[in-house]
Chain A
Amino acid sequence: MSSQEELTLIKQCQNGDLSSFSYLYDLYLEKIYRFIYYRVSHRETAEDLSSQTFLKALKSISSSNFSGKNFSAWLYKIAYNTVIDHYRSNKKEMDLDKVFDLSSDENLPEQTDKNQRIDLIRKATEFLSPKQKDVLIMRVWDELSYKEIALISGDSEENCKVIFSRAVGKLKDSLPVEYFALLLLLNLFKIN
């Protein structure tokens, strides 16, 4: 679907024609579900919060005053607040500690070296602050722009950029010698 078509659907919904909402749902369900899942690390909870997100969006799309272009950020913001509400009602802080342990498809025996490197990266993420993890996930996994991240998190765009750059810098600096030794070996033997 082109961005123009998406804009048309959003405008139809904003004008009260909610039948177009299901197309937007098809377009965003996977993204929103993943976004929530990264933050709750639990399938059923992610389903429950995704349902709440889309219900809230459906109820308020015609009364909200975002421009069509900001629909994505608006929807992610609803999802983000739903996740925060979920943690608040359980009197917990948002926990992104588990998310880097949830993957990946790369556990193949012939890729031991790669797995080793990934494990080292995973360990290095433990040193990121919750905010840094959050912004890192939004930028790299959710593929959100800094503008969108800013709208979702409530921080300024500039601040989000700095948080992200610090997270990447910290990852780079936190990686132990073993990681770079592995990289060197791989380069020497042209394995990659």
Chain B
Amino acid sequence: MPDDKKIKKILDDLYKIDPEFKKHEKKLIKIIKELLLLQPNIKPDSKFAEELKSMLKNEEKNIDKKESIKVKNSSKNYFTSFSFLFDLSRSFVIVSILLLLVVSFSFVKIQKDGIKFTQQNKNQNEYLEMFKETKIVKKGKNSFGDLFTQSQNLTAGNQSGEMAALSSTDRALGLGGGGYSAVKMESSIAPAGEMGIMPLPVKFNYIYTGGDFEMFGSEESVYKRVPLDISKEFAGNFSGGNLLIGTDKFNNAGISSFNLIEDRDFGYNVYFGLEDGSISLYKNWKKWPRVEDICGGWENYQCIEGYRLSFDQVLSNDRLLAIADGFLTEYGVDLSSYGPGEVQNDWLKDYSLAEDKSSYYIPETISIIYPLLVDGKVVYEESGYKSGLNVEVDMREEKVSGLYGLYYQNYESSVYETEGDKQKIMELAYNGGAYPYYDYFGEGEYETVDIELGSPSLELVKIWNYDNSSMTSQEMYVPAYVFPVISQSKPTYFYRKNVVIPAVKDFFNRYEGITPRTLPVLMNEEGSVDGSSSSSEGVVEIMNDSVSANNFR
């Protein structure tokens, strides 16, 4: 279709949806024309096209043959021409697993009531002791070197984009002394039943109502997870031999990981990471019923659609927790380093905001997080979610379908200086953290949604920090102020549960070096701008669209 006709058709359809678009016809024509110019001019390679055509021709013959001898072909053997590869790979997998099981079962006995380790030798016993308990080895001050190397880079990346956005925001909107605003563009407020009406973009306005709060000490421990590498220990039991290749020819070799695969209905595939001391578990998908198999392939979408979960099939939080807790008890997972399970039900927010609930895709699995505790503090992700052991529950089957984030708890700690200036901490809180949503930089109307933050608790945040000397990323647990999101002024697609601000000074030093932000004006009781003034209440006032905070120092 020629572009002009195509554009006209697109516009005609748009006007039917919302006649208001007609007013902006010229703009829209330009936008659609330029979208068409952005279309990648890509074509399949002619050699590829020929090869695929000839492969399909061969496949046609195979299908014809099968039809003629009335062999009922199931989806199990989909790509018949490659079946020998499946056979070969299956044999290889079986042999490999057998080998690994021989190796691993000399050391590990998997029993229904958990994992029990046999006592083989002194070295192994030392490792077993390490498995059993959380170990934190104290190091000297600033032992981990420069912190936030990677964060600095990420922040710089974010900032460069945001600077442009911020400057246009300032120009167009004039933020004044308001609480710092950030926008998640897709978070348009979409009241149910207003189909076809364009929603407005949203600005998030962070407001603090928590009052004065406790600060970290001037120096606090930062923790670094030390992966427990037992790959060589396992390989020590590997006697060698010839398995298609002479395995005894490899020097100083270790076993980095192995999987146990359960051959039973609803069986699991359990991954043991021997280099980082991790265990995760997934469905052995061959042993779980799959809708695409029942329906004879994804292409039978009507059948697939018929199997979508309905809202009535959603399990209660109590039921989900009972399934997850029951599984962990049955499999002997030690939860002493984790808090109680919390059901992650963010999808319910999307569902409640969805205009057409009948077409909303209800997730098949729900995640339950058992928050990790290090030295008695809860660990958070930078996004504000709790970090820890994740257990996935399949709502259709009412069974645990996955588990990850289970590690041996082995840390080093080192003391670092913290930021003692409350004002700087609050500046970042008003910003929505170091990684806020994108700023709105348009000229048109927008809606403001106030996000109310409460008093912070003193916890830890997990940060991946790039170490320049070893050129590896390290998993750090850094003291952090965790501001809970208490409320929002309007229902919208805002998911953040907490705003997390790392408390270590390095972080602030690097952050400061990048961008000065527009900040709320601190006002004393008389309303003059004076940060040194103190008032009795650490409260936030909303005055003429501006938010002022008292007494943060």
Contact = CB atoms under 8 A, between A and B. Distances in A.
B35 interface: yes
Q: How large is the interface on A (under 10, 10 to 19, 20 to 34, 35 or more residues)?
A: 35 or more
A117 B34 contact: yes
A172 B52 contact: no
B442 A162 contact: no
A78 to B, nearest CB: 4
Contact of A165 (B21, B32, B49): B21
A94 interface: no
A22 B17 contact: no
Interface in B345-403: 355-356, 358-359, 361
Contacts of B443: 177
Interface string A131-166: 010001001110100100001001110110110111
B44 A33 contact: yes
A21 B56 contact: yes
B422 interface: no
A37 B41 CA distance: 11
Given A16-B67, A121-B35, A50 B57 contact: no
Given A78-B299, A136-B35, A140-B35, A55 B56 contact: yes
B442 A29 contact: no
B296 interface: yes
A54 B185 contact: no
B63 A18 contact: yes
Interface string B259-276: 000000000000000000
Given A60-B297, A127-B186, A122 B28 contact: no
Interface string B278-308: 0000000000000000001111110001000
Nearest to B354: A159
Chain A contact surface mostly: helix
B297 A56 contact: yes
Contact of B40 (A38, A54, A127): A38
Contacts of A128: 185-186
Contacts of A96: none
B43 A33 contact: yes
Interface in B436-457: 438, 441-444
B36 interface: yes
Interface string A66-109: 00000000100110011001000000000000011011111000
B493 to A, nearest CB: 9
Contacts of B93: none
B199 interface: yes
Given A16-B67, A58-B63, A166-B199, A146 B186 contact: no
Contacts of A26: 53
Contact of B188 (A59, A105, A118, A166): A166
Contacts of B27: 172, 180, 183
B13 interface: yes
B78 interface: yes
B38 A100 contact: yes
A46 B52 CA distance: 13
Interface in A12-71: 16, 18-19, 21-22, 25-26, 29-30, 33-34, 37-38, 43, 46-47, 50-51, 54-60, 63-64
Contacts of A127: 185-186, 438
Nearest to B440: A174
Given A99-B40, A165-B196, A174-B185, 20 more contacts: A25-B53, A26-B53, A30-B44, A33-B44, A38-B40, A50-B44, A60-B296, A78-B299, A103-B39, A117-B34, A121-B34, A140-B10, A155-B356, A155-B359, A156-B359, A161-B13, A174-B201, A174-B441, A175-B31, A177-B172
Interface of B: 1, 6, 10, 13-14, 17-18, 21, 24, 27-28, 30-32, 34-45, 48-49, 52-53, 55-57, 59-60, 63-64, 67, 78-79, 168, 172, 185-186, 188, 195-196, 198-199, 201, 296-301, 305, 355-356, 358-359, 361, 438, 441-444
Enumerate the 4 nearest inter-chain pairs by beta-carbon distance, A residue then B residue, closest first: A81-B298, A127-B185, A129-B186, A102-B40
9 contacts: A19-B60, A22-B60, A30-B43, A34-B40, A58-B56, A64-B300, A117-B30, A164-B14, A170-B185
